[in-house]
Amino acid sequence: MRLKGKRVVVLVENGFEDLEFWVPVMRLLEEGAEVIIAGKEKDKQFSGKGCLQAVSDSDFESIDVSRLDGVLIPGGWAPDKLRRYEEVKKLVKSAHERRKVIGMICHAGLVGISAGIVEGSKSVGSEGIKDDLINAGAVWVDEPALVDGNLVWGRVVKDIPDFCRKLVETLENGIR
């Protein structure tokens, strides 16, 4: 129970990548973290790209960033929707300013770009957002997963084990 007492919010919208959502969530729960799923509305069901579903525990605006240890943003098509919500950008920017751990995998970097938190950071993600990250001032690194400050990055689905390992380690040990 390496993460007992830690609280992580997971941002959800329709079109999330099923494995990039549920595998990290299960790892966080397995390690004892409290996981809060936040969507545009509370108690709403969201559909992944495959067949899996997620129900929001909270809406974005009700999340108190000061009570969080981390934010998880799964990939898929959802990040392109999430980045359009002002309350998501505000939440992610506030979490970054408070040095909370922010995990982004695959296309999740789109949310980081829109929240204005990636400039100067080493980054990785889907090849499809490489140019977006570079144009936002991030430094592209082609690795399965990496940590730069409070930002934990994962490339794609096959890199979930590396991403989860780095996410759990960073939440457990703090930002270096």
Q: Calculate mean pLDDT across residues 154-174.
A: 98
Which pLDDT does position 175 carry in this prediction? 82
DSSP element (H, E) containing 139? strand 139-140
pLDDT in tens, 51-74: 999 999 999 999 999 999 999 999
Does residue 102 have a pLDDT over 80? yes
Average pLDDT taken over every residue of the chain: 98
Give the total number of structural domains in the chain. Answer: 1
Tokens 């494995």 locate to 19
Is 1 among the domain residues? no
Ramachandran region, residue 32 (left: φ > 0; alpha: ψ -120 to 50; beta: rest): left
Confidence band, pLDDT 50/70/90 cuts, at residue 176 = confident
Which pLDDT does position 120 carry in this prediction? 98
Is 12 among the domain residues? yes
Here the CATH number for the domain that contains residue 139 is 3.40.50.880
Q: Virtual CA dihedral for 135, 141, 147, 148, nearest 10 degrees?
A: -50
**Which residues, including other chains, have CB under 8 Å from residue 86's CB and lie 6 or more apart?**
none
Does residue 160 have a pLDDT over 80? yes
pTM for the predicted model, two decimal places? 0.98
Beta bridge partners of 58: 38
Range of the domain at 40: 7-173
Confidence band, pLDDT 50/70/90 cuts, at residue 75 = very high
pLDDT in tens, 22-48: 999 999 999 999 999 999 999 999 999
Is 77 among the domain residues? yes
For residues 20 and 45, the answer to whether their CB atoms sit within 8 Å is no
Which pLDDT does position 69 carry in this prediction? 99
Is 2 among the domain residues? no
Confidence band, pLDDT 50/70/90 cuts, at residue 87 = very high
Q: In this structure, what token pair is assigned to residue 28?
A: 């966080």
Q: Calculate mean pLDDT across residues 119-134.
A: 98
Backbone φ, ψ for residue 18 (5° rounding): -50, -50
Q: Identify residue 4 by its one-letter amino acid code.
A: K
Which pLDDT does position 21 carry in this prediction? 99
Is 132 among the domain residues? yes
Buried/exposed 102-130: b ≥16 CB within 10 Å, e otherwise: bbbbbbbbbbbbbbebbeebbbbbbeebb
The residues annotated with a catalytic role in the active site are: 106-107
Give the strand pairing for 53-55 and 58-59. Answer: unpaired
Q: Virtual CA dihedral for 53, 93, 71, 132, nearest 10 degrees?
A: 60
Rg (CA), the chain: 14
Q: Identify residue 59 by its one-letter amino acid code.
A: D
Is 69 among the domain residues? yes
